[in-house]
Amino acid sequence: MGVANLDGRLQDLKRSIIDDGVTMVVNNIIIPHSGWDPSSSSGETCWSTVFRNASGVLRNVSSAGEYARKNLRECDGLVDALLYVVRSAIEKSNIGNKIVENCVCILRNLSYRCQEVEDPNYDKHPIQSTVQNRVAAPAKGENLGCFGGSKKKKDGQPVQKETTTSRTTNPRTEPVRGMELLWQPEVVQSYLNLLQQCSNPETLEAAAGALQNLAACYWQPSIEIRAAVRKEKGLPILVELLRMEVDRVVCAVATALRNLAIDQRNKELIGKYAMRDLIQKLPSGNNQHDQGTSDDTIAAVLATLNEVIKKNAEFSRSLLDAGGVDRLMNITRQRQKYTPRVLKFAGQVLFTMWQHQELRDVYKKHGWKEQDFVTKTVAARNSGPNSPNNANR
């Protein structure tokens, strides 16, 4: 049997499970064992083998495309129960187990392309530059502080405390329930707690992937999520995880930072505090250093660097001073070693650097020529790491 046929049969099997079994699994196992069940007064999670296995089934089927995501999101009580388990586990410092891993992986997959819940044609709309500017523009005179909101005063008055919401709609009169919980700013704290406290690589990757998904577009909840990560001091937590030796975690974290950098204030903080850690993940030419980093992770780091240095000569200079150009050139010179995607992204970063005309003399003083930035990278001018990324497993 060919791989394509096998994949097709697996997808058909997952769809059958979704159609015939998910509601039963959720109502009879997930909700009662989670402790969330509103009709029960126990409120205690049952860390049973059957709960572990049932959550594993949902984890597997949640990756079966848009059909699976839609049906699982709409399954009454599922998202509520999953988040209840995660929060209970955090409160009890019981986050290293398989049940939590399964729950976070399901949440990560259900967070994939959340914007299509409210607007199925979201990706068909042109992104207006005015919208991007409104999303990203920092308040005039705002002091960014260290990875979060400022506490300094201006003209004798305290700077207004940063909030995570900017909607003009009337405030809710009832608690949020169901799938909308996936993209509420409050969910950020749970993912950050996991990223800070958990040692399970699967859970770390899933938590970073959830933030990556939620921050991946210009949809209003994504705008609020990006602000919430900054407000909750989440950026330094993510930057620290770039130093991990687990490649798939670094890849998810780097892509999350790239999506978070859509927000101008986040971009400035990432450029200021994460530049060296990002550059350290690029190939150095030392096989012992480079062997643990996959092409996917290299591409994710390059995409983040490109987002950070766009329209910011200071960060392009920081990339140069930290030895980033040497590492970029190391990639472009070894065309047989890296995937076309990595080569394209590296070329785009070099090309973006050259666009800062005020730095061209600085580059030349370091021994680089225009051809180093442009000739080998012309193909990357109109195609590069410019789109936010989602994670789905």
Three-state SS for 67-78 is HHHHHHHCCCCH
Measured between alpha carbons, how far is 115 from 214 in angstroms, rounded to an integer?
9
| pTM of the complete model | 0.83
Regions of the chain with pLDDT less than 50: 128-169, 379-383
pLDDT of residue 91: 95
Class assignment of domain 1-112? mainly alpha
**2 φ, ψ (degrees, to nearest 5):** -70, 160
Our CA dihedral for 320, 326, 327, 333, rounded to 10 degrees, sits at 140
In the chain, what are the domain boundaries?
Answer: 1-112
Name the percent of the chain in helix, strand, coil, to the closest 5. Answer: 65, 0, 35
Task: Give residue 48's identity as a one-letter amino acid code.
Answer: S
pLDDT of residue 286: 75
Which pLDDT score, from 0 to 100, does residue 129 have?
38
pLDDT of residue 118: 74
Q: What is the pLDDT of residue 126?
A: 56
**104/201 Cα distance (integer angstroms):** 12
**What phi and psi, each to the nearest 5 degrees, are found at residue 287?**
-60, -35
